[in-house]
Structure 1
């Protein structure tokens, strides 16, 4: 009822949620289903998490702060979650599931012009690698980059997925979606340059190795470390050109997993 508060009660003994007049004040508002309320709270909690990033998991996103931002009471929350731990588990799972764009969008866009211009395989590798390095670095360089924050935050949560079986399952599913999408991309791209997988490997195997490599460099970027870049001249023993360390590592993986046995047809 309007005007009723729970002053003097430090916390709900059942839910464990903190209470105060701010949250316990009953207000007149549209009636929502439990799922609509859950979605509203989690969407706003995700916004806070994207703005602040990961710190001690998601525990720094306080439910009471989210409730305040959407004008809801603690009662609305503990009809859905038993306590803060349940809420944080749900929030972490939603964060891992969140994608701002399909997995291959950024890489596909980065190499589009190179392919159109008939660039070499090294040109494609350099462009794709630089895109990934720049993408991960935006976590620090562009705090407003929602897409980069979503990627790094989800990656950070996946590294701690063992704590909750549901989070581990969501992490495995996200990984599966990503490597399958990239395996399809590699299966379309590499034959244009005359490459096929060496036996007994597959494009999926190559995608798994690339994912591990790319995520490792993303963690490095999240630590705020500058990415090494090399200018290799024609007089050097390495491949000539401007290379990121990630690009050189990709080149090594291509050599290990792929064999070139047909002339390149990248003019298609």
Structure 2
């Protein structure tokens, strides 16, 4: 069996798949670091968690009680939000790959550390269990330069300031689901608390609304979406960088328009 983990900022989601990649059971731990709940299959119970490692420990104990001990898994897989310009294919999580993911933390400071927390925690608990990862940015690696380049000096572009795109795993799955019925031209939407759109040509991404970070593009649940850079600079002078970041990501979007 395969254990798949998605470690987010405030939750840990898991799903167990059999050898034929059929879903066997799924679960989640919510509100990490405080009072939340652990749900596995049809069972839900309140829990208090300290961090991702503690949440994973509780989830693995629940899985064992449900008949899925850690020893029953042949591999584990993780969703990693950002792979930068280098990681464009699924990979086994060996030290060089982990180091590359760590190196792009500045590109996704709200996401990659949480994703890696699940990797580290599982590695501590089961050091011999093979771990793999897929990247939310990888599907958009086929974007041409005209779709990824900002009109900024080359030095900043070389430092990683460019459009990457996100929700790639969602779009890749959509393309796979179409199979032979996939149209040549497809405008696809990922609509949830985070939202984006993607132009797909012959199954490959050629442009997407999210850019350097998941903050840009469409108005989302709590994210502002596109906003003039001068407005961000003004708010940052007034509120400070950290508070402006929090406001644009957590307290804006549809929530701010209600």
TM-score band w.r.t. shorter chain: under 0.3
Structure of higher CA gyration radius: 1
TM-score norm. by structure 2 comes to 0.28
More strand by share: 2
